[in-house]
Amino acid sequence: MDFEPSDDQRLLIESVSRMLADNYSFAQRKTYIAAPEGWSTAIWSQFAELGLLGLPFPEQYGGYGGGAQEVMLVMQAFGRVLVVEPYFPTVILGGTAIMAAGTDAQKQAILPAIAEGSLKLAFAHGERQARYDLTDVVTTAKKDGDGWILDGSKTVVAHGDSADTLIVSARTSGDRYDHDGITLFLVDAKTQGVARRGYVTRDESRAADISLSNARATAVLGTVGQGLSIIEKIVQAGIAATAAETVGAMEAMNEMTLEYSKTRVQFGNPIGTYQVVQHRLSDMFMTQEQGRSMAMLATMSLENPDPAARAHDMAMAKVGVGQAGRYVSQSAVQMHGGIGMTEEYAVGHYFRRCMVIERLFGDPAYYLQRLADEVA
């Protein structure tokens, strides 16, 4: 199989890389994080101008007709500079939800607004007691006339503090762990009964804990009681996207570590001249490439119509990329010595982002157990 990017994909990589090189240095990133939103609205506008916010959406909905491979390339570029804007929750998670479950009217209303940068989404599914179990939903939704009233809470909602619309999962029937009975709703983030507590996460991105108390949903997304399959698609799109982001972060850390080995002098010689350091650099590069292969697997699996095969491949990718990201991150910090742990130097920030991604939607141990259960 040919994994070389097409001419159009090369142009996409070049345009995104050029924009980030001009506007996303490590020092500039610090200023974006210090902004009231925790990210740059100017950069968000540039994403819209480049067509990145509408990249995966069909042209009929104001998008650019890109696919999973194009998203992978963009997320890889974002990983190289640790982008903090809400692209992931809005375009990847939110966009996947709308494309997978939205009516034509909902797509016509929401997707063009995302593409032009005027609408931000957040996927509010995780609950404090649930860990990584997608079926563990205790937030409830009750019919009220022509609408629905939601009660419950969601935790660590990525960029939930700045989202305009929330995609909220709630149980409309059944018991806590039932597969059926979970429904997705669109909720105006500013509607009465919605309370948001925003905060900075360990990797310097933003998240929020969200409480819903008699909050009225704007609309149902998909079929009532059949939301789990859509949630699984959203999570799988998130796994593929963050796998690509991890590859970009590993590339950046490897480049930084290689350059450091050429300039850091110990015992009268650059440390890169010592064989033990060369071996570690080689191991880091090979691990990066193994992670890249697993990220490609996740991207290709998004188009697999078999849910079981898709879930299996995603578990494989989560384990492979998670382990690769951890090894490269830890090695990069170790090779840099004390400077690798400082706030002023970038490598520690890459380390933290990789560790957050490793646990997002489930850590490697969780997915290893799932893979083991398949053959038990």
Q: How many Å apart are CA 63 and CA 86, to the nearest integer?
A: 18
pLDDT per residue over 149-162, tens digit each?
999 999 999 999 99
Q: How many Å apart are CA 58 and CA 355, to the nearest integer?
A: 33
Calculate the average pLDDT of the chain. Answer: 96
pLDDT per residue over 59-87, tens digit each?
999 999 999 999 999 999 999 999 999 99
Mean of the pLDDT values across residues 303-312?
Answer: 95
Give the residue from 33, 132, 142 showing the smallest Cα distance to 81. Answer: 33
4 pLDDT band (50/70/90 cuts)?
confident
Residue 99 pLDDT > 80: yes
| 369 token code pair | 């157990």
Mean of the pLDDT values across residues 5-27?
Answer: 95
Query: Which architecture, in CATH terms, is 229-375?
Result: Up-down Bundle (1.20)
Residue 1 pLDDT > 60: no
Q: Where are the beta strands (DSSP E) in 43-146?
A: 121-124, 140-144
CA angle (319, 322, 328) in 5-degree steps: 135
HEC states along 317-370? Answer: HHHHHHHHHHHHHHHHHHHHHHHHHCCCCCHHHHHHHHHHHHHCCCCHHHHHHH
Give the residue from 241, 218, 247, 237 showing the smallest Cα distance to 97. Answer: 237
Mean of the pLDDT values across residues 90-107?
Answer: 98
pTM for this prediction: 0.96
| 288 token code pair | 């990066």
267 pLDDT band (50/70/90 cuts)?
confident
Q: Give residue limits of the domains in the chain.
A: 7-119, 122-225, 229-375
SS3 200: strand
Residue 2 pLDDT > 70: no
338 pLDDT band (50/70/90 cuts)?
confident
**Residue at token pair 């890249």:** 292
Query: Which architecture, in CATH terms, is 7-119?
Result: Orthogonal Bundle (1.10)
Q: Do domains 7-119 and 229-375 have the same CATH topology?
A: no
44 Cβ contact list (under 8 Å, min separation 6) = 53, 85, 86, 117
183 Cβ contact list (under 8 Å, min separation 6) = 141, 169, 170, 171, 172, 220, 222, 223, 224, 225, 226, 227
pLDDT per residue over 207-249, tens digit each?
999 999 999 999 999 999 999 999 999 999 999 999 999 999 9
260 pLDDT band (50/70/90 cuts)?
very high
Cα radius of gyration (the chain): 21
Kindly report the CATH number that applies to the domain delimited by 122-225: 2.40.110.10
pLDDT of residue 375: 86
